[in-house]
Amino acid sequence: MKKLLLFILAGFINAAQAQDISLYEKKLYISGNDTMPYRLLLPVDFDASKKYPLVFFLHGAGERGNDNEKQLVHGAKLFLQEEVRTKYPAIVVFPQCAENSFWSNVGFKMDNGQRAFLFQEAGEPTPAMKLAQELLSSLMKTYPVAKRQVYVGGLSMGGMGTFEIVRRNPKLFAAAIPICGGGNTATALSLKKTKWWVFHGGKDDVVPPLLSEEMVQALKKVKAAVKFTLYPNANHNSWDAAFAEPDLLSWLFAQKK
């Protein structure tokens, strides 16, 4: 009997979790022959006459595809918490990058048996970045967005994309939270008008923590407002610790252009 009750309880919990994730509406952004799936979470008791902050979150390489599901694996539940939705009503968007694309315009090479990242300083955006920027522009025209409170974040590939999308839109974002990402240090001046909280795991063996450390130093040199949290014992999944930061959302939503 006890096992049966536990099984029923687990079923209820799983059903509740599934229902929660389904609050992110499935959407498609279509531009010519290209399509970008995305999920959209509107505030509780959404009122089109009010202005809301917008959070744009870029997933990692493992969540690429076109199922409009995988991009919610990391981070989506943070914004579903009842306390968060009550305290920080916001429009939250998780776009999905195609399997054959990448958020950031970055190349790779092997260096002493390890993968090295070659971030471009300029150049055309990847197809995914182009669509993401178009989607963001469309969202800001369609929904009542508080233009002084547009935020971007991302993890791994999405952390790299965070640095790049801010560089390509230097006057747009009030704050950015790249997790285990990286970028081209030569672009720091174009990142200066955004406030930053950068995260990385000290034992990350996928994306070296040096990439975040160098970006933080470059941001400091141009006198940008930047915080850096290095988790000494965390590997690549430093997003778990970042999402658990008690001041993360209070800091984020306090930032305004």
In a domain, 145, yes or no: yes
> What local confidence, expressed as pLDDT, does residue 115 receive?
80
> What local confidence, expressed as pLDDT, does residue 4 receive?
43
Look up the domain containing 207 and give its range.
Answer: 25-254
Among 54, 38, 57, smallest CA distance to 46 is for 54
> What local confidence, expressed as pLDDT, does residue 18 receive?
43
In a domain, 11, yes or no: no
In a domain, 4, yes or no: no
* pTM of this structure: 0.91
In a domain, 180, yes or no: yes
In a domain, 99, yes or no: yes
Q: Rounded mean pLDDT of 83-105? A: 97
DSSP for the chain, written as a single string:
-HHHHHHHHHHHHHHHHHHHHTTSEEEEEEETTEEEEEEEEPPTT--TTS-EEEEEEE--GGG-SSSSSGGGTTTGGGGG-HHHHHHS--EEEEE---TT--SS-EEEEEETTEEEEEE-SSSPPPHHHHHHHHHHHHHHHHS-EEEEEEEEEEETHHHHHHHHHHHHSTTT-SEEEEES----GGGGGGGTTSEEEEEEETT-SSS-HHHHHHHHHHHHHTT--EEEEEETT--TTTHHHHHT-TTHHHHHHH---
In a domain, 16, yes or no: no
> What local confidence, expressed as pLDDT, does residue 63 receive?
98
Express each pLDDT in 241-257 by its tens digit.
999 999 999 999 999 99
Report how many domains make up the chain: 1
Residue 202 pLDDT more than 50? yes
Q: Rounded mean pLDDT of 119-130? A: 95
Express each pLDDT in 26-68 by its tens digit.
999 999 999 999 999 999 999 999 999 999 999 999 999 999 9
Express each pLDDT in 132-182 by its tens digit.
999 999 999 999 999 999 999 999 999 999 999 999 999 999 999 999 999
Q: Tokens 């200066």 correspond to what residue? A: 192
In a domain, 244, yes or no: yes
In a domain, 17, yes or no: no
What CATH number has the domain bearing residue 111?
A: 3.40.50.1820
Evaluated on CA atoms 49, 55, 58, 59, the torsion sign reads negative
Is the CB of residue 160 less than 8 Å from the CB of residue 103?
yes
> What local confidence, expressed as pLDDT, does residue 8 receive?
42
Two tokens, residue 35: 């399509």
